[in-house]
């Protein structure tokens, strides 16, 4: 007599070996018809063979959800205005602090000449702004590994704010200012390099845009001074670099805004989308980062 084969319950299905689904995944209702699911969270839920028809999925979160075989028919995807506002609040605060720090440092550096006591700080300001601008420019590109430019942008922008506000709060104490730059810079590098979220990308890129504009202003003033003294060659070169910094500023602002919208968009981040069907449903505005797909 052959050994008994254990019965397979109807709700049991074989699972692939490679999956990002969490072992704590919770089962959920799998049929949604003509429902407003804006900003609803299906995080880590089991939605195999689920049915979504004529639903509003703007801002909906399917992070690490198991959606194998699910059907999305005439669903509306994209960003939620409320989530954009929520994500924009910390971004606006960061931009305000960065703009105040950069403008104060840049205007304080104007008129400082080589050989003066404050000249080393001006050189350090140029270097920090340049690193932030270059990192922001690289962040806007589709690089295979974006962690390094994001980490550098987080390091340089946070260090600038740490230096300025550390000195500002202690009556321009250079020791505290440098300590603040190192401490906040390392924190910014760690967060920007390790936390891969559209919101973090947006904040880092927007701060880099402020730094790029500050560098453009400094270079433009320096180039104008060279023109007035008849040093045309160096003036033209510096002017071209200043224009490039303005281009980086505009690109970074656009990229930062898109990242904010990405943060508030329908998210299939790390979800299992194998055998999914999208009929009359646009997934272009969705976050598909690390999603498992058939093709």
On whether the 16-78+266-295 domain is CATH 3.30.365.10, my answer is no
Strand order of the sheet with strand 31-33?
31-33, 51-53, 71-73, 277-279
| Residue 10, pLDDT above cutoff 70 | no
Alpha-carbon span 140 to 157, nearest angstrom? 16
pLDDT tens-digit series, residues 131-140: 999 998 998 8
15 or 240, which is more confident?
A: 240
What does the alpha-carbon distance between residue 137 and residue 252 come to, in Å, rounded to a whole number?
Answer: 7
Q: What average pLDDT score do residues 185-205 get? A: 90
Q: CATH 2.160.20.80 region(s) of the chain?
A: 16-78+266-295
Token duo for residue 262: 């990405």
Which of 114, 51, 53, 39 lies closest to 83, judged by CA?
39
Contact present, 54 and 33 (Cβ < 8 Å): yes
- Is residue 163 within 8 Å of 181, Cβ to Cβ? yes
Q: Whose CA is closest to 159, among 101, 117, 106?
A: 101
- Interval 84-129: pLDDT, tens: 888 899 999 999 999 999 999 999 888 888 888 888 888 989 999 9
Q: What angle do CA 92, 98, 127 make, to 5 degrees?
A: 145
pLDDT digits over 227-279, tens only? Answer: 888 788 888 999 999 999 999 999 999 999 988 888 888 999 889 999 899 99
Binned at pLDDT 50, 70 and 90, residue 295 comes out as low
Tokens 């987080």 identify what position?
154
Confidence of residue 67 (pLDDT cuts 50, 70, 90): very high
16 band by pLDDT with thresholds 50, 70 and 90? very low
Rounded-to-integer distance, Cα 268 and Cα 274, Å: 12
């Amino acid at each position: 007599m052959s050994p008994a084969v254990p019965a397979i319950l109807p709700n049991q299905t074989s699972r692939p070996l490679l999956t990002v689904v969490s072992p704590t995944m919770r089962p959920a209702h799998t049929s949604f018809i003509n429902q407003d699911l804006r900003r609803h969270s299906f995080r880590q839920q089991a939605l195999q063979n689920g049915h979504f028809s004529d639903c509003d999925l703007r801002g909906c979160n399917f992070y690490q959800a198991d959606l194998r075989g699910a059907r999305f028919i005439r669903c509306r995807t994209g960003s939620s205005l409320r989530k954009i506002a929520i994500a924009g609040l910390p971004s606006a605060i960061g931009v305000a602090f960065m703009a105040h720090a950069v403008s104060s440092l840049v205007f304080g550096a104007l008129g400082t000449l080589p050989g003066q006591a404050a000249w080393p700080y001006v050189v350090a300001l140029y270097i920090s702004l340049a690193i932030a601008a270059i990192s922001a420019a690289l962040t806007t590109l589709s690089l295979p590994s974006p962690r390094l430019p994001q980490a550098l942008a987080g390091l340089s922008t946070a260090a600038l704010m740490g230096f300025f506000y550390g000195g500002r709060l202690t009556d321009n104490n250079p020791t505290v200012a440098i300590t603040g730059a190192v401490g906040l810079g390392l924190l910014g590098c760690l967060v920007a390099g390790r936390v891969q979220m559209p919101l973090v990308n947006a904040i880092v890129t927007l701060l880099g845009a402020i730094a790029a504009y500050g560098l453009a202003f400094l270079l433009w003033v320096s180039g104008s001074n060279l023109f007035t003294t008849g040093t045309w060659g160096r003036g033209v070169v510096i002017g071209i670099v200043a224009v490039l910094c303005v281009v980086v500023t505009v690109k970074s602002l656009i990229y930062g805004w898109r990242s904010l919208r990405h943060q508030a968009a329908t998210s299939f981040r790390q979800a299992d989308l194998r055998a999914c069907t999208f009929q009359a449903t646009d997934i272009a505005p969705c976050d598909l980062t690390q999603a498992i797909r058939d093709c």
